Amino acid sequence: MDAYCTKIRKFEGKFYGIEYNHVVHDQNQLADHLSKLGSSRAVIPPGVFIQDLLAPSIKEDKEVQEVPLTEQLVLIVPSPATDWREQFIKYLTNAEVPIDKTVSERLIHRSKHYVLVDGNLMRKSAKEGIL
C-alpha cells in the first residue's frame, strides 16, 4: 500500500488536488458483499466483472529484504528503559529535579502521591495516608 501512496504523491503536483473520502462501513454494503463473495469463493453473480491481478501494477523502487524470524524477534525486543521510579526517589530523598521546568513541575506535582518507606516507593492512599 505504501508503494501506491508514494506513487500518488508523485502526481499530486500535476493536479489541482487530491481528495480522500472515508466511507462508513454501513454505507458501503456493496463493497462488503463483493468482499464476502471473493473470500468465500462463492459463485459470482451475473453482471459482476472480475480481473485477476497476478502481478503488482506498480514497480517498487526498493527491494524488500527478507529477515529471518529470529532476527525479527531480536529487533522487536525493546531496549531497557530507565525506571520511572528513579525520578521520584531522587526527588524525595535529595530534592533533585530535572532541568526542564515543565518536567520538574510535573514531577513535583506527581510526587505528592508517593512516599518512601524503608527505601521503597509507595503510593499514598486517599483515605489512610499510606497504602
Q: Which of 91, 116, 115, 120 is nearest to 103 (CA)?
A: 91
**Whole-angstrom distance, CA of residue 88 vs CA of residue 93:** 8
pLDDT value for 78: 60
Please check the confidence at residue 69 and state whether its pLDDT lies above 70.
Answer: no
pLDDT above 90 covers a percentage of the chain that reads 0
pLDDT digit string (tens) for 36-54?
887 887 787 788 777 777 8
pLDDT value for 93: 87
Please check the confidence at residue 75 and state whether its pLDDT lies above 60.
Answer: no
| Contact criterion met (CB below 8 Å) for 50 and 44 | yes
Q: How high does pLDDT run on average in the chain?
A: 76
Is the pTM higher than 0.85?
Answer: no
Q: How many CA atoms lie within 13 A of 22 on its CB side?
A: 1
In degrees and rounded to multiples of 5, residue 104 shows phi and psi of: -65, -40
